[in-house]
Amino acid sequence: VESVLVAPDDRAVRLGSPATNGRPGGAGYGGFFWRAVADGEPAVFTADAAGEQAVNGSAAPWLALTGSGPGDGAYTLVFAGLGHGDRWFVRTAMYPGVCVAFAFDRPAVVPAGGSRHGRYQVWVADGTLDRDGVAALVRSH
């Protein structure tokens, strides 16, 4: 997925999040967002961390979310493509979701007449991949 956000020529655009507007609890979402389905709480991990609290707010090169939908449909979603200053926003307990957060802990600004480019990769795998399987998938692309 590729995106471009363009500011008008006469003013900068401030990109914020609930967290940058004072909401506690790591609510730094705002950007490319994928909300998944899950029966039960899915697992989330990066190359060196696991669990919502450890992964939320990280800048790992890739992030994986594994779960199962209705009818025991196990899946793995793998995300990559953080830009400079971006962080991962992740939820597994309240709902399963992953976001490339533009303003996780501080606002991002697109200068007047400027643009912000993004290029995100999402791999959708049937079944549950482990850390080694995800790392191999990312390396192969």
Q: What are residue 99's phi and psi, to 5 degrees?
A: -135, 135
126-137 tens-digit pLDDT: 999 999 999 999
- Residue 51, pLDDT > 80, answer yes
Q: What single letter denotes the amino acid at residue 59? A: A
> What is the longest distance spanned by two Cα atoms in the chain?
53
Compute the distance between CA of residue 62 and CA of residue 59 in angstroms, rounded to an integer.
Answer: 8
CB neighbour list of residue 64: distance below 8 Å, 6 or more residues apart = 44, 45, 46, 76, 77, 78, 79, 129, 131, 134
Compute the distance between CA of residue 98 and CA of residue 40 in angstroms, rounded to an integer.
Answer: 16
User: Rg (Cα) of the chain, in Å, rounded?
Assistant: 16
101-132 tens-digit pLDDT: 999 999 999 999 999 999 999 999 999 999 99
Q: What pTM does this model have?
A: 0.92
**Residue ranges per domain, the chain?**
2-139
- Residue 17, pLDDT > 80, answer yes
